Structure 1
Amino acid sequence: MPATEPTIVATSMGFRSGARTWIEPGPVFEHMRQLAGSPARPRLCYVGTADGDQAHRRLWVREAFQGSGVEVTDLALFPMPNVPDVREHLLAQDIVWVGGGSVAGLLAMWRLHGLAEPLRAAWEAGVVLGGVSAGSLCWHIGGTTDSFGPDLRPVTDGLALLPYGNGVHYDSEAQRRPLLHRLVGDGTLPRSYATDDGAGLVYRGTELAYALADRDGARAYVVERTDDGVCESVIEPRRI
């Protein structure tokens, strides 16, 4: 069964360093399987556009799920799409996971290849969409990014399945919080949700349902413009 309503899991977490493999799945993937209706053999598509579809990363993801019962595929756009029908491929999944990297490059490539409509169709059909960093920002209107250099800049041309701004790596990169506050304060971004490393946001439809965390101390936040300036509030997460 697909998710009961359109679902996005936007995070600053995902894979961890592995013991026998280079990486291993963090608990967010089991949580996404549950959101997808707990299929016995979930179909997960890894999308690595943000890091240039590096072949070794695609291999790491496949190795990470060996023996887990998860059926892993990937969607690559370099040097050409690796599946004949992108829409059909995405609609056949239970989970789509988008890796981190350059969100500006990801959005440019997705638009070039017309991925906005297939991804929306998959979301509306109950495929659980998710990702880390660039794979979190992409679903929102925009957020803060290092896609253009070490000095962070705004990105405002996200897919906007979610009508909010987004902040990632909120506790680990010093520029993230003040820039997000400024962008919300000057109206560049609307109300925005942010995540510390190890935290994530679960949206049902276009509403935030709850936050989650895979480690102690990781939190999520909402940043809003008020008559008095910008207000930031903590969203205590569920521990997974």
Structure 2
Amino acid sequence: MPADQPTILATSGGYRAPDRGDVAFGPLVHHAVDLSGAAGRPRICQLGTASGDQRFRAGMFAEAAHRAGFDLLNLNLFPMPTVEDVEETVLAHDVVWVHGGSVVNLLAVWRAHNLDRIMRRAWGQGVVLAGISAGSICWYRGGTTDSYGPPLRPITDALGFLPYGNGVHYDAEAGRRPLMHDLVRDGVFGEAHCTDDGVGLVYSGTELVEAVTERDGAAGYLVRPDGAGGIDEERLETRLLS
């Protein structure tokens, strides 16, 4: 059952430590499923491209999905796609969840396999697109990244489904906020949407409709030029997910 409108959930969270096992899906992943309107056992397509399709992480996500009652497919692209028809596979799922890592490498590999085109089609057909960190930035025009090395740098050639900059880990890494302020001030991004760790931004089409969080006190932010050569940062009302 597809979402009734093109939907993106862009986050800096989604996982938690379980009582047993390695990782569990947190409220943000569950919220992506809720947004899809999936009935029965939700179908999740997980892409770990940004981390090089590490098999141990795929096993962790499979375990987390079993615990949550989801049917999860790890769609790996290294050393070759693990399915015969990537487009058909993506379109058959309720939610695409994209893990973090290098957004620069993710974009290069996705474009080589036409995932940029496939994801746009999936978005238009009601598959909820979601993810954490690199799996958040990829949906925007770009954002701040350490894909090139420890000094943060901008990336401006992401998929561009959402016409904004994206700042992830906004409260967790000291360099993220000032770099995003500079990028907005200099006109690299006309507007940026940012998330503290544990926060997700929900979009209907390209319109931001809600900020949600799985961590009490964390928030989302809008960063815009103030018209006088500086920037204005607005802290969003952010709903705590149960």
TM-score, normalization by structure 1: 0.98
Partners of 1:196 and 1:166 lie apart in 2 by: 11
Structure 1 residue 155 displacement after superposition: 0.5
Paired residue for 1:117?
Answer: 117
Code of the residue aligned with 1:238 in structure 2: it is R
Partners of 1:163 and 1:108 lie apart in 2 by: 20
Partners of 1:118 and 1:97 lie apart in 2 by: 14
Code of the residue aligned with 1:37 in structure 2: it is G
Paired residue for 2:32?
Answer: 32
Q: Deviations over 1:28-74 (max 9, x none)?
A: 12211211114211000110000000000011000112143210101
Paired residue for 1:59?
Answer: 59
Partners of 2:240 and 2:80 lie apart in 1 by: 40
Paired residue for 1:230?
Answer: 231
Code of the residue aligned with 1:234 in structure 2: it is R
Percent identity over the alignment? 54
Partners of 1:67 and 1:166 lie apart in 2 by: 31
Structure 1 residue 114 displacement after superposition: 1.1
Partners of 1:154 and 1:33 lie apart in 2 by: 31
Code of the residue aligned with 1:46 in structure 2: it is Q
Cα contact 2:25–2:64 (8 A) shared by 1:
yes
Partners of 1:22 and 1:171 lie apart in 2 by: 25
Paired residue for 2:197?
Answer: 197
Decide whether aligned partners of structure 1 residues 148 and 67 sit closer, same or farther in structure 2, where only a CA change above 3 A counts: closer
Code of the residue aligned with 2:99 in structure 1: it is G
Partners of 1:11 and 1:40 lie apart in 2 by: 25
Partners of 2:54 and 2:38 lie apart in 1 by: 30
Bigger Cα displacement from structure 2, 147-156 vs 24-33: 24-33
Q: Deviations over 1:125-151 (max 9, x none)?
A: 100010000000000000000011111
Code of the residue aligned with 2:215 in structure 1: it is R
Paired residue for 2:208?
Answer: 208
Partners of 2:192 and 2:6 lie apart in 1 by: 20
Paired residue for 2:182?
Answer: 182
Counterpart of 1:217 in 2: which secondary structure? coil
Code of the residue aligned with 2:186 in structure 1: it is D
Paired residue for 2:150?
Answer: 150
Partners of 2:91 and 2:155 lie apart in 1 by: 28
Code of the residue aligned with 1:24 in structure 2: it is A
Q: Deviations over 1:105-126 (max 9, x none)?
A: 1111111111111101111110
Partners of 2:67 and 2:17 lie apart in 1 by: 17
Cα contact 2:25–2:68 (8 A) shared by 1:
no
Cα contact 1:40–1:69 (8 A) shared by 2:
no
Cα contact 2:2–2:127 (8 A) shared by 1:
yes
Code of the residue aligned with 2:187 in structure 1: it is G
Code of the residue aligned with 1:232 in structure 2: it is E
Partners of 1:179 and 1:239 lie apart in 2 by: 27
Bigger Cα displacement from structure 2, 15-24 vs 140-149: 15-24
Cα contact 2:11–2:133 (8 A) shared by 1:
yes
Paired residue for 2:159?
Answer: 159
Code of the residue aligned with 1:22 in structure 2: it is D
Partners of 1:65 and 1:196 lie apart in 2 by: 25
The count of aligned residue pairs is 240
Q: Kindly report the root-mean-square deviation, in angstroms, between the aligned alpha carbons of the 2 structures.
A: 0.9
Question: Which residues in structure 2 correspond to 1:105-144 (within 5 Å)?
Answer: 105-144=105-144
Bigger Cα displacement from structure 2, 131-140 vs 184-193: 184-193
Cα contact 2:53–2:76 (8 A) shared by 1:
yes
Code of the residue aligned with 1:92 in structure 2: it is A
Code of the residue aligned with 1:97 in structure 2: it is W
Code of the residue aligned with 2:49 in structure 1: it is T
